[in-house]
Chain A
Amino acid sequence: MDTTAQHGTVKERPQASTPRLTLSGISKSFPGVRALHDVSLSLYPGQVTALIGENGAGKSTLVKIMTGIYQPDAGTISIDGQAVTLPSAHAAFGHGITAIHQETVLFDDLSVAENIFLGHAPRTRFKTIDWRTMRKNAKEVLETMGAGHIDADTRLKDLGIANKHLVAVARAMSIDARIVIMDEPTAALSMKEIEELFLLIEFLKSEGKAILFISHKFDEIYRIADRYTVFRDGEMIGEGLLKDASQGQIVRMMVGRNVDHIFPQRKATIGAPVLTVSGLSHPTEFDNIGFELHKGEILGFYGLVGAGRSEVMQAISGITRIAKGTIALEGKPIAPKSAADSIEAGIVYVPEERGKQGVVIGLPIFQNVSLPSLTRTSKSGILRLAEEFALARAFTERLDLRASSLSQDVGTLSGGNQQKIVIAKWLATAPKVIILDEPTKGIDIGSKAAVHGFMAELVAQGLSVIMVSSELPEILGMSDRVVVMREGRIASVYDNKELDAETLVRTAAGIAA
């Protein structure tokens, strides 16, 4: 392990340029958690540095320190060799640091222009906001980035997710940022959006920005990044040039053991149809959706972000109302009116937005896991804590959760570990059909293997799975069949045998082969 820690340090440090930003000896603790311990990081102009680490390794914490949101307990930050302090987000701006955070942090109810210029709007002679200049500048910024199609006056909530990302980047450009940080920007994006984002990153590179890029997807890291820094359990393990390091080496640094993510081999023993959906329509979101899910099958749902997959799944599980159509479970028609109804019937939906729809921050882990199963863990309405703990332990340990105790507030877990709670809580209801919406979003490579392994095991036991995913390898590696959706309608259904990535992407984007 010592050898890996040494990998790519001093000797191999490239002399290309001096770092624009240097963090050294940074430590940060939260009550009961040591998130960062004596870590260092350097960012170079015109280069992309990838920050790599397991869930909870401390990546986002470091980002928040670099943007003035958290204060480090120890350590120094210097920009162009000058030591600086970043007491607030505003101060970080002043130094040209900007970030696209892991959670979307923009203003839905404000216009695009305001989102870009909030906090540094152009002023008139009288120190009042100069709306006209602001709009004009917004338009210019968007155009230089090749995002001229976004109208500066629209409200942000009317934009698609990819465009929202563009606005976030535009904001970074508008303050003439010299350091741009992106914390898992691709987690919720599908191929097409990711390509657009990469073009942008190339553009930023060419402008000489120093870029920090955080992702759990190695293919992306190798495509876009020049250097890497690896964290494990809040400590820096190694750094260097990516061209000198193999994926295996990096993963070993990251996890401290060998992990090779191969999708589990499954013997498809596909049985009778379990879930039959036909003619499902919604006034505005989707139209005439029909498919069959068989016992022991994993049915993948692919599409560009915003294709309406999540809405369909939410309709099937009773969360949104439908206008027309039927849903039958094991031949019996059902009409769930709420998630409670569908959970009772045996269909569960694992939502994609973990912070908003998934975890209940403020409640401890075990209560989160037991929440959908309360009727089983309690007796005539009276709670039985022992049962709750047992249930929570069974599922969280299986998913390799990193937590200090089951009574810990889920809000203090890292993003990826929260995602494990989300999966655990719905699996714990022992359903017949489970719908997983972007199940491995933001999960590190080791845990991803655990989730996939668990899925395979469940299916082997006769559970049926619908897996909505925007991640091609996952879709290709896990599904027996794939439904592709485009703009609220089913574009095509493929058997996995006949499938390749290109067909999927073309169908999803509506480009004829």
Chain B
Amino acid sequence: MTDTPAPRHIPDRLDKPLSSAIFSWEALLVVVAIAIFAINSFASPYFLDPWSLSDLTFNFTEKALIAFAMALLIISGEIDLSVAAIIALASTMMGMAVQAGAGTPALVAIGILVGLGCGAFNGLLVTRLGLPSIVVTIGTMSLFRGIAFIILGDQAYKGYPPSFAFFGQGYVWSVVSFELVLFLVAAIIYWFVLHRTSFGRRVFAIGNNPIAAQFSGVRVDRIKFILFCLTGLMSGIASVLITSRLGSTRPSIAQGYELEAITMVVLGGVSILGGAGSILGVVLAAFIMGLVTFGLGLLNVPGIVMSIFIGLLLIIVIALPILWRRLRGNS
């Protein structure tokens, strides 16, 4: 007596109204970036110059490299506040290596490996002992930079080999710097990993529900550990770049970079609560932050006033879609 109905067909996707694409986060960021670019070109005659535009990229490439890995980490529901301290420690180790007569390849290897090691340390504390990452990395933030201070004190390491200068100061082709190329390559790799691989899919799953992900056969701790290592690795790479760009090491190097990298990630539309975000957003956010700071710099606006703009941008860009939805909902 049971009537069996024919199974209902469920479509893959519903046709989305065009408006939802237009009001996507990335679209919003593109508009903001274009607007700032236009304003900059009007406000300063020096802005539209190949060399200016090239110099501009140095304002964000190093931080953006960290931001890519940080984006994955934040999507997975964790955070790493120690990235700038990792830069300091890696740079200090490279400095020590220089004193011991290491050559450029060895220096790069040391910088990257120290970064990786620090990331692994964070990862172990978080995954093995089950500690909250925000607190762990507040601790390691002091610890890593503290070690740099113990080693260096009031001294500086310098005398990096001339060939080492290429990473932070070199140009691959005309005005295209090595840092910019590295940034673009990293953007593509991270985009692919996050959006096109099963690893990336698992990262999203962990960020949305770590327990269900674990029950679904996702090796949550292993993936989180890898993400911490990646973040450390990118910090190590950033350390190579910045050390090369400055040509010297002090323990206070890269102070405050962690908040800028996180700002980039959040501005890029990655949910700070985990589970959502895109690499394209982070790339756009990096450009926006570079454009704002460089554009205001050309007008000789003090850095702290620029930071007001960045802070406002962060809140406004996040508030806008919410307000928009609310307005539409009411009408």
Interface residues of chain A, those whose CB is within 8 Å of chain B, are: 32, 257-262, 319, 338-340, 342-344, 349, 351, 356-363, 366-367, 371-372, 374-375, 377-378, 381-383, 389, 393, 396-398, 400-408, 425-426, 429, 449
The reply to whether A319 and B214 form a contact with Cβ atoms under 8 Å apart is: yes
Please give, as numbers and ranges, the residues of chain B lying within 8 Å of A449 by CB-CB distance.
Answer: 2
Please give, as numbers and ranges, the residues of chain B lying within 8 Å of A403 by CB-CB distance.
Answer: 10
Please give, as numbers and ranges, the residues of chain A lying within 8 Å of B197 by CB-CB distance.
Answer: 378, 381-383
Q: How far is the CA of A60 from the CA of B8 in the complex (A)?
A: 24
Residue interface bits B217-249, CB-to-A below 8 A is 1, else 0: 111000000000000000000000000000000
The reply to whether A371 and B216 form a contact with Cβ atoms under 8 Å apart is: yes
Residue on A nearest B1 in the bound complex, by CB = A260
Please give, as numbers and ranges, the residues of chain B lying within 8 Å of A398 by CB-CB distance.
Answer: 7
- Would you list 19 pairs from A and B whose C-beta atoms are within 8 A, ordered by A residue? A32-B14, A258-B3, A259-B3, A260-B2, A349-B215, A358-B212, A360-B209, A361-B209, A367-B204, A378-B198, A381-B198, A397-B7, A397-B9, A397-B10, A400-B5, A401-B8, A405-B10, A405-B11, A429-B217
- 17 new A-B contacts, CB < 8 A, other than A261-B2, A360-B209, A405-B10, are A257-B5, A338-B219, A339-B215, A344-B217, A351-B212, A360-B205, A367-B201, A367-B204, A371-B205, A382-B197, A383-B201, A393-B10, A400-B7, A400-B8, A401-B10, A406-B11, A407-B12
Please give, as numbers and ranges, the residues of chain B lying within 8 Å of A429 by CB-CB distance.
Answer: 217
Q: How far is the CA of A361 from the CA of B273 in the complex (A)?
A: 13
Instruction: Give A173 Cβ to nearest chain B Cβ, in Å.
Output: 33
**Residue from the set A319, A357, A362, A381 with the largest chain B CB neighbour count within 10 Å:** A362
Residue on B nearest A403 in the bound complex, by CB = B10
Please give, as numbers and ranges, the residues of chain B lying within 8 Å of A319 by CB-CB distance.
Answer: 214-215
Please give, as numbers and ranges, the residues of chain A lying within 8 Å of B204 by CB-CB distance.
Answer: 362-363, 367
B276, CB-defined interface residue at 8 Å: yes
The reply to whether B201 and A371 form a contact with Cβ atoms under 8 Å apart is: yes
Residue interface bits B8-22, CB-to-A below 8 A is 1, else 0: 111111100000000
The reply to whether B212 and A356 form a contact with Cβ atoms under 8 Å apart is: yes
The reply to whether B201 and A338 form a contact with Cβ atoms under 8 Å apart is: no
The reply to whether B13 and A407 form a contact with Cβ atoms under 8 Å apart is: yes
Within 8 A of A (CB), among B21-71: none
Instruction: Give A449 Cβ to nearest chain B Cβ, in Å.
Output: 7
B211, CB-defined interface residue at 8 Å: yes
Decide: A340 near B213, CB < 8 A? Known: A360-B208, A378-B197. no
Please give, as numbers and ranges, the residues of chain A lying within 8 Å of B217 by CB-CB distance.
Answer: 338-340, 342-344, 371-372, 429
Q: How far is the CA of A377 from the CA of B207 in the complex (A)?
A: 21
Please give, as numbers and ranges, the residues of chain A lying within 8 Å of B7 by CB-CB distance.
Answer: 397-398, 400
Please give, as numbers and ranges, the residues of chain B lying within 8 Å of A397 by CB-CB distance.
Answer: 7-10
The reply to whether A374 and B208 form a contact with Cβ atoms under 8 Å apart is: no
Instruction: Give A454 Cβ to nearest chain B Cβ, in Å.
Output: 12
The reply to whether B198 and A356 form a contact with Cβ atoms under 8 Å apart is: no
Please give, as numbers and ranges, the residues of chain A lying within 8 Å of B13 by CB-CB distance.
Answer: 405-407
Decide: A357 near B208, CB < 8 A? Known: A258-B1, A383-B201, A405-B11. no
Within 8 A of A (CB), among B81-97: none
10 closest A-B pairs by beta carbon, nearest first, are A362-B208, A343-B217, A340-B217, A397-B7, A374-B198, A378-B198, A372-B216, A360-B209, A371-B216, A407-B13
Please give, as numbers and ranges, the residues of chain A lying within 8 Å of B250 by CB-CB distance.
Answer: none
Q: How far is the CA of A371 from the CA of B202 in the complex (A)?
A: 8
Q: How far is the CA of A32 from the CA of B196 in the complex (A)?
A: 28
Please give, as numbers and ranges, the residues of chain B lying within 8 Å of A400 by CB-CB distance.
Answer: 5, 7-8
Instruction: Give B60 Cβ to nearest chain A Cβ, in Å.
Output: 29
Q: How far is the CA of A362 from the CA of B210 in the complex (A)?
A: 12
Instruction: Give B71 Cβ to nearest chain A Cβ, in Å.
Output: 16
Please give, as numbers and ranges, the residues of chain A lying within 8 Å of B199 by CB-CB distance.
Answer: 381
